[in-house]
Amino acid sequence: MHLKNIALSFLATLTPLAGAHAQGALGKSTANGEATVAQEASAFGFTHGSFVAAPIPIKNPTLGSGFALGAGYLFAMDDVSDDSYVGLGGFKTDNGSFGYGISGDIAWDENRWNLALTLGEVSLNYDYSLFDGHGPKIPLEQEGRLVNFTLKYGLTDAIRLGLNTAYVETELGLNSSGSLPPILERDADLKIWKIGPMFEIDTRNDSTYPTAGSHLSINSNYNIVESKVFERTYTKSIAKLDNYTSVNDSLVVASQATICNASEGAPFFDQCGLGTVDAFRGFAFGEVLNNSLVSVQAEVRGVVTDRLGYVVFAGLGNVGPDFSDMTSKNIRSSGGVGLRFRLSQKFPLDFSMDAARADTGEDTYYIYVGQRF
């Protein structure tokens, strides 16, 4: 399960354009397995939570720089279940993008059940690059609204099955004079219904800042598209495997492998893209997109003090019309460094600042809350 940045939770599921990828649900086990403050106090239930509200800086290569203002309430239903939250927020950036929404994610019955609901609306300005990032950039403006619902059931402590449903409305236009290129006309005004199963195997020792274990997630959606130009259906499937290994008490190696496939008929903004389905740093949304994707990332996470930490990361990725069409000459890469500042003594939630350099030599910067994976 993903706990999105409280201020951007709605954005992260409304559209792949969200540049802030936050952490999983706030698990309560510490790195060495000792109880947290919440467990020691045996204070569980909705009335024993913590209220948080704060402005959060935003910086990513898609939406530019700006601020999000979020308010949320964190709580745990029992001593086993992941922490739950309800929150609302809004954001605005210097390129004219803005959004607002509400979101909730609740786990109960000793983590047996999990329910998440998100409602949001955004207006986004960004550049879309044709031909997997090698073509001209097209300035676009896109408005969207979403209702997203997810229900999961735990078969065991580690294995979960779930169902995801969503409804999306989106309008697309050119953020300049002229009209949309013909290749984008079919995606100009859409209504999309989404439904599909989810599967997880989660052995992490903590879902916010894991230091051991792994997390496999697989989801596949069947999508029905209403359009004035081209009504159709398509499928989209994503599989991710995260792994975490402690080198010592202050050093963790984290990795992620991602496979994504969207069938013909998928709108361009719901294709598989570096930096969208896999939290890959170094490329903006719309820069490297296609129907199929494979990527791998690795990150070393270090702790300097109780509050201060750092990361060093690198990744490789490839996209193509199909997996068989991917070639080694089209492999994209990036790497970089980042700083982490622990926001809370109770929850291991970090304020993150990253700098990444892509194989094109272009530098991109990110400011967000949480880890990338």
Structure confidence by residue, pLDDT tens digits, 280-324: 999 988 789 899 999 999 999 999 999 999 999 999 999 999 998
| Residue spans per domain, the chain | 6-369
Does position 59 have pLDDT exceeding 90, yes or no? no
Task: Choose the weakest-confidence range: 52-66, 94-108, 186-200.
Answer: 52-66
Strand, helix or coil at 40?
Answer: helix
The H-or-E segment that residue 48 falls in is none
* CA angle, 310 then 312 then 313, to 5°: 135
pLDDT band, very low/low/confident/very high, at 158 (cuts 50, 70, 90): very high
Q: What is the pLDDT of residue 152?
A: 97
Q: Which of 24-38, 132-146, 258-272, 304-318 has the lowest mean pLDDT?
A: 24-38
25: pLDDT strictly greater than 80: no
Positive or negative: CA dihedral 199, 203, 206, 209:
negative
Q: For all residues of the chain together, what is the average pLDDT?
A: 84
Average pLDDT over residues 264-274: 92
When the candidates are 2.40.160.50, 3.40.50.11540, 2.60.40.420, 2.60.40.650, the CATH number that belongs to 6-369 is 2.40.160.50
Secondary structure of residue 160 in the 3-state scheme: strand
Contact (CB, 8 A) for 127 and 60: no
Q: Which of 128-142, 215-229, 335-349 has the highest mean pLDDT?
A: 215-229
* pLDDT at res. 369: 81
53-62, 63-72, 149-158, 266-275: segment of lowest average pLDDT:
53-62
Q: Is residue 94 over pLDDT 80?
A: yes
Note the pLDDT of residue 131.
62
Q: How many residues does the chain have?
A: 373
Element (H, E) at 187: none
- pLDDT above 70 as % of the chain: 87
Which tokens in the block code for residue 179?
A: 């009209």
> How far is the C-alpha of 110 from the C-alpha of 222, rounded, in Å?
31
Residues 6+ apart with CB under 8 A from 142: 15, 17, 122, 123, 124, 126, 170, 171, 172, 173, 269
Q: 191-230 pLDDT, tens per residue?
A: 999 999 999 999 999 888 999 999 999 999 999 999 988 8
pTM of the model: 0.84
pLDDT of residue 38 exceeding 90, the answer is no
- Model confidence at 32: pLDDT above 90: no
Strands 363-369 and 350-358: antiparallel
Of the CA atoms within 13 Å of residue 175, those in its CB half-sphere come to 16
Nearest 5 degrees, angle CA 155-CA 158-CA 164?
65
Closest CA to 238 of 267, 269, 197: 197
